[in-house]
A and B are shown apart, each in its own frame.
Chain A
Amino acid sequence: MKRFGTLFGREVSRTLKQPLAYVVLFFFLILTGINFQAGVLAMNAEAGTTTSVEAFFNSLLFWFPFLLVFPLLTMRLFSEEYKLGTIETLMTAPVGDAEVVLAKFFGALVFYAVLWLPSLLYFGAFWWVTGQAPVEAPGSILGAYAMLALVGAFYISLGCLASALTDNQIVAGISAFALLCMMFFLGILWFFFPMTSPALQSLAYYFSTIQHMADFSRGIFDSRPVVFYTSFTSFTLFLTYHALQYRRWRA
């Protein structure tokens, strides 16, 4: 892991130097801004118990850009290197395959964090304008952002895997989207198993990202999703590492 820092620095600068990053950032901020405003307007319209954090993290307008951003973030990670052939110069430098995978993963994670950082301003602005705290308990906002990081890491790892499998960025993007939609909509099954079968329901809860976010943004901490996302992220990165090696064995 001697060269991880160098690789990681290169990944971050590579992401931040491409115009696509700013296009994504621009539209992402517009969509999340609209989402925040919609939440505040809804709270104005009628009295309720939801906080602005809950309203922000649990609406359709939140999930839509949330899911859309991962393929754009990850599709070029490996595919571009395959296409340009730079994977050959990269992998003949004295760096391990695992270092390369981790550097790319954390590089994408940094940009993901850059996308979400401005949203903290929304809650700051809310506090400043209304004089009310956006949450009743600090655990709520911590929980929401922790869940954002956990789910984000998992979906980014899925994107890494898709990108490591093909030299076509479009194919990588679409397969990443398909994979994460599969994971995401598997979680929606939770709503189709109401109280009928407790065993099935508790299994479905593991996959229900929407439910995890609803819980965490209310400040409810549950260790199950934490274990679920960290272990799935590690497993997917492990698969990515093998996909990278497999391409060389075959190439």
Chain B
Amino acid sequence: MIKVEKLTKRYGGITAVDEISFEVGKGEITGFLGPNGAGKSTTMRMLACYLPPTSGRAQVAGYDVFADSIRAREHIGYMPENVPLPPDMRVREYLAYRAKLKGVPGRRVKERVGDVTELCNLEGVDHKFIGALSKGYRQRVGLADAMVHEPDLLILDEPTIGLDPNQIRQVRTLIKNLSRHHTILLSTHILPEVEMVCSRVIIINGGKIEAVGTPETLRETLQDRGRTRLEARVGDTSAAVKKLKALDGVREVDCSEGKEWNTFLLHVEADVREKVFVLAKAEGWAVRELSRRAVSLEEVFVEVTHHEEI
């Protein structure tokens, strides 16, 4: 559905998006994850045919977003960040206008507006002025607008930002339901959202793609690079630390001494539990815990975006 090849965007001297390439298949919900200023919005704006790329190519539904922009736009429903809407229009009037603008045939406009109004739970407010709506309703009007012309692809830039927890839930459920008929690309910096909603994650940072995969595979690849915890009774703490550090795959050892039991936190590059066990057995340490910490997507995110150890 989306095919991006070496897409680049430069503003003045700053490279906001740096030669990124990825593909999104039909029916996928892809989460675009990254810290603020990572280039998420810029990439989405280029895909939505708003910003022309500096170099590289992007295709949506087989149409080039730059050369065949109008055709591509007919297949895209785009909801920009902060959902800009005209305050002087009523909800129903706005959706009808947008439907016509996006090429819904006249006889189907009413039906489509009715459908999206129902789908986004806007029935109660459809005669209100958009300027008088709360943030949650505005967000839903934005979503309704994005899908009023039944696009193949929905591009949603931060769809849940600024909503209260109940509204966030509603929007997430809505997005999940939409995936039956649409391919969805959404951006966020809220990690649980990605784990709950997305089937695939693209982590972007500093204009570059850092990692791609399902939330599970991303977690697995990082799991080995996590921390291992050892709680044991050792004779000489500093000697134990030295010995642990000497193990292959251990980068750093933190030790917190207790009265009797010491806790060692091993920063590792691979799964070293077996080696630790063998060492403890040889040294005669009494071990009461040897475990690998489960890694959350949040930690994956921090790891790949800040290159920090976890």
Contacts and interface: CB of A to CB of B under 8 A. Distances in A.
Interface of A: 2-3, 6-7, 10, 14, 17-18, 84-89, 91-96, 248-251
A249 B84 CA distance: 20
A93 B50 CA distance: 9
A6 B73 contact: no
B88 interface: yes
A250 B10 CA distance: 9
A250 B11 contact: yes
A6 B100 contact: yes
B84 A91 contact: no
Contacts of A7: 101
A86 B100 contact: no
A22 to B, nearest CB: 14
Interface residues of B, number: 27
8 contacts: A6-B101, A85-B80, A85-B82, A89-B78, A93-B101, A95-B70, A95-B101, A249-B52
Interface string B126-146: 000000000000000000010
A92 B44 CA distance: 11
Given A88-B50, A248-B51, A18 B101 contact: no
A85 B84 contact: yes
Name the 9 nearest CB pairs between A and B, nearest first: A85-B84, A94-B73, A6-B100, A92-B48, A92-B78, A88-B80, A86-B84, A94-B74, A93-B101
A92 B52 contact: no
Interface of B: 11, 45, 48-52, 70-71, 73-74, 76, 78, 80, 82, 84-88, 97-98, 100-103, 145
A17 B89 CA distance: 9
A10 B70 CA distance: 20
B217 to A, nearest CB: 32
Contact of A86 (B11, B76, B85): B85
A208 to B, nearest CB: 40
Given A18-B88, A84-B84, 13 more contacts: A2-B103, A86-B84, A87-B84, A88-B84, A89-B84, A89-B145, A93-B98, A93-B102, A94-B73, A248-B51, A249-B52, A250-B11, A251-B51
A4 to B, nearest CB: 11
Given A10-B97, A250-B11, A91 B85 contact: no
Contacts of A92: 48-50, 73, 76, 78, 80
